[in-house]
Homo-oligomer: A and B are copies of this chain.
Amino acid sequence: MNLGYKGGRREQMEKEIIRIGLAGFGTVGTGLARIILENQDWIKRRVGKKLLISRVLVRDLNKVRTFIPGPEARFTDNPDDLLSDPDIDIIVELIGGIEVPYTIITKALKQGKSVVTANKALLALKGNELFELAAQNKAGLYYEASVAGGVPIVQTLKESLAGNKIKSITGILNGTANFILSEMTLKGLDFEDALARAQEKGYAEADPTLDIEGLDAAHKLTILIRLAHGQDYPFDSLPIEGISKVQAIDISLAGEFGYTLKLIARVKEKSGYLQAGVFPVLLPEDHILAKVDGPFNSILLYGNAVGPIMLYGQGAGELPTGSAVLADIMALARDNSEPNNTGFLEPCLPRARILDPELTVYEHYFRFTVLDRPGVLSALSGVMGEYNISIAQAVQKTNPAGGSVPVVFLTHKAQLKDVYAALKEINSFSFVTAPTVHYRILT
């Protein structure tokens, strides 16, 4: 079964020293190098081999560096120096972005060299192609660090829960967005102020789009769907909603009803079809994910054997993400059976069978901004009734300044399709003075 290896992976793995070509020497690359140096003896006790970072690909060779990953590490700004070095056993890609990593990874795999990457965007967009290439060349393509940083969710889905059919996954997968929402919730900040604080603390980048618009969480969700369901869910088909429009008032009103607002990534299996998406939701305050604050990540999943399982930890950062990269390197260094890349026999997974997300049923939160006039409540609830949306709680607030007032409805379960239709009708009323805010409630 593992006798037909091409590219000499077996041979490489039998060496005493595993040489790593490290592409990218930013936060995670530095973290990885630090752990490898610090835990060198420990790693040797686990896998019997010494890990050595032998070449490092950087953008700017002239940058002054205060930390060097070991005496033998040579820096280069040319990817081909890594790829053409026959002594390198594993390529670790920590550059980020799409094009440069794509070129490096495909070239490495074609040589039968195993790759470890944290690149969620690349795997989300080009997963099938890369996994097929890895399989053709009997190379490992490992990516524990691509989802939830140091939390071992990839390994858990690929191995520990492999015998389970996964019924649902609900994850807080973006630490930046979760930090921003926690600041808004715990300190009453507006979105802009909370974002500024996240940027100050180094949790958010100068351009925070990927994090706050839910794209990063969606990349990770695509990877989890592959691992859990063995299906390729086209990234373009994933409904994605971020948090940039979240207002402090809704966090505060939701809190009055006992709910916490979180950005979640979710997939649910229903009769062989998948409902998936990234969106902000209200969680009951005693929901196990409601307590996950700050830059932490957490994933709650249900397997048909294991029942509910939750994993929690740091979703980003130098050392936690480095820890996940290191786990993959050690697995490749120790193991010489055929690499288990996708968790399935097929490298190229079938296209997901997708259930129209608008058919999904949730409870809902609505905040209408309306003129304080007779008949308004009746008109709003009339439209709800028309679309079979049953109201569970309703509150109208006063506005001491006069003008528009907020009206909040919490509803029983209703289909998103009906909700969107009702919203459209309601937003066209002349007494509605601002677009209605709507969140799903996850119970």
Chain A contacts to B: CB under 8 angstroms: 1-2, 13-14, 31, 35-36, 38-39, 42-43, 45-48, 144, 150-152, 155-156, 159-165, 230, 288, 291, 303-314, 317, 319-320, 322-324, 326-327, 329-331, 334-337, 340, 343-346
CB distance from A324 to the nearest CB of B (A): 8
Q: Which residues on the B side are within 8 Å of A230 (C-beta)?
A: 45
The answer, among B152, B337, B343, for a CB contact under 8 Å with A46, is B343
CB distance from A106 to the nearest CB of B (A): 26
With contact pairs A320-B305, A323-B306 given, residues A312 and B288 touching in the complex (Cβ less than 8 Å): yes
- How would you classify the secondary structure of chain A's contact residues: helix, strand, loop or mixed? mixed
Judge whether A35 and B307 touch: CB under 8 Å.
no
Judge whether B159 and A156 touch: CB under 8 Å.
no
Judge whether A306 and B42 touch: CB under 8 Å.
no
CB distance from A82 to the nearest CB of B (A): 22
CA distance A308 to B149 in the complex (A): 12
Judge whether A46 and B305 touch: CB under 8 Å.
no
Q: Quick one: closest B residue to A2, CB to CB?
A: B336
CB distance from A88 to the nearest CB of B (A): 19
Judge whether B288 and A305 touch: CB under 8 Å.
no
Q: Quick one: closest B residue to A35, CB to CB?
A: B305
CB distance from A173 to the nearest CB of B (A): 16
Judge whether B335 and A165 touch: CB under 8 Å.
no
The answer, among B306, B317, B335, for a CB contact under 8 Å with A319, is B306
With contact pairs A45-B344, A152-B156, A156-B152 given, residues A305 and B162 touching in the complex (Cβ less than 8 Å): no
Q: Quick one: closest B residue to A45, CB to CB?
A: B344
The answer, among B36, B313, B314, B330, for a CB contact under 8 Å with A162, is B330
Q: Quick one: closest B residue to A162, CB to CB?
A: B46
Judge whether B313 and A307 touch: CB under 8 Å.
yes
CA distance A46 to B303 in the complex (A): 15
CA distance A321 to B305 in the complex (A): 8
Judge whether A345 and B48 touch: CB under 8 Å.
yes
CA distance A322 to B39 in the complex (A): 35
Judge whether B326 and A46 touch: CB under 8 Å.
no
Q: Quick one: closest B residue to A144, CB to CB?
A: B160
The answer, among B150, B163, B310, for a CB contact under 8 Å with A35, is B163
With contact pairs A155-B155, A313-B306, A336-B337 given, residues A46 and B344 touching in the complex (Cβ less than 8 Å): yes
